[in-house]
Structure 1
Amino acid sequence: MTEPRPQYDAVTPGTALPRLTHVIRRGDLVRYAGASGDLNPIHWSERAATGAGLPTIIAHGMLTMGVAMRLVSDWAGRRAVLECGGRFARPVVVPDDEEGVELVVDGVVAEKLDGSRVRIDLTVRCGGEKVLARPRAVVTLN
């Protein structure tokens, strides 16, 4: 059963969204590459990744952003997201094992905007380190 969508009048700046924890494994990178068309070898070839100065294969930046935005769309509803953005601050290194790597996404209502819109500020961490800089979204409620 899904939670009811939050109502604009019921949220205030500082309202926390429920934490999202998501594991990324190398198989996810293969599926994402096929779906997105981003076939950059740093996402699937150990040799290409290390040759580019990376420690190993890394997750696609837009996959990381997509995971972050899932927190927002799960909370507000998929059709509620009006804008989203952020910068890639640190690569998400994906080990060659069954455990993968865990992304932890936290969000908070940062500001009520005009109409029924609110700005959500996010924190996206992998291994305790922030991997996105200034990730945020604007959603409409009600």
Structure 2
Amino acid sequence: MGQGAYSWRDDPSVPPFPDDRPLVLFDGDCALCSGWARTVLTRDRARLFRLAPVQSPLGRALMVHHGLDPEDPSTMLLLENGRAFGKTEGSIRVASRLGWPHRATILLRLIPSGLRDAVYDQIARRRRLIPGRRWCAMPGPDLDLADRVLG
């Protein structure tokens, strides 16, 4: 993820997409990850974030571009201001903009990133054991998804 700013724009394998707002890539086959994506869509009152499942053509291309396995994504990925953030840093950056109680996740930065990410990795390894709906269960029609879900 140490690519230069907006490096995906120069990668012919990445389909063009609007990158003027943060984009969250998530595992659409994981109930935990899809639940988080639905939380972002419902709690993001400013409509700041766009989302795309890793299983979409755009999601796959961006994961590969950043050296991550789209077949078994080990992290969500936040693309913001031309940079990629994964694991706890990406999650904290997203959650801190969703209002209370999610905003309190900013306190996790008091924990060293190596320790935070080790816990994240343990949860990520077990995430598909959590039963539940997958991304195909989109939020209800009361939530306007225009310009918010890419892929």
TM-score by length of 2: 0.25
Flag the structure with higher helix content. Answer: 2
Q: TM-score, normalised by structure 1?
A: 0.26
Q: Which structure: larger Rg?
A: 1
